[in-house]
Amino acid sequence: MQEEIRLGFIGIVINDRVIAAEVNALLGQYARVIRARVGVPDADSVAAVIGLIVEGDNPSLGALTAKLGNLRGVEVKSALSRRNRLRESVPPDHERT
């Protein structure tokens, strides 16, 4: 079975770094779609910005963006390529024979 893969970015603004541990835990859960990450804390405030380069299927990228956006004090914007490429889907470890 094939799945459509998209390339793009997700920009994350953390308005209070108290939530940073939750953001990092969520990013860890989606590490398979994160190709690159850069974080910039604002030394003069409690805010921070994280930029992600992502590559994955629409459901995974949408879920990550939605979960980040549901965190209090976190703002998220994303843009994905319009051109998709196909990739053979790999079943989770527990479904492999």
Residue 52 lies in a domain: yes
Region 29-48: mean pLDDT is 93
Residue 77 lies in a domain: yes
Region 22-49: mean pLDDT is 94
pLDDT of residue 71: 96
For residue 95, report the phi and psi dihedrals to the nearest 5 degrees: -105, -5
Residue 42: give the domain boundaries: 2-82
Residue 92 lies in a domain: no
Q: What is the pTM for the complete model shown?
A: 0.81
Residue 48 lies in a domain: yes
pLDDT of residue 97: 45
The domain total for the chain is 1
Distance CA 15, CA 26 (A): 17
- Give the N- to C-terminal CA distance of the chain in Å, as an integer: 15
Region 47-66: mean pLDDT is 96
CATH of the domain at 67: 3.30.70.1150
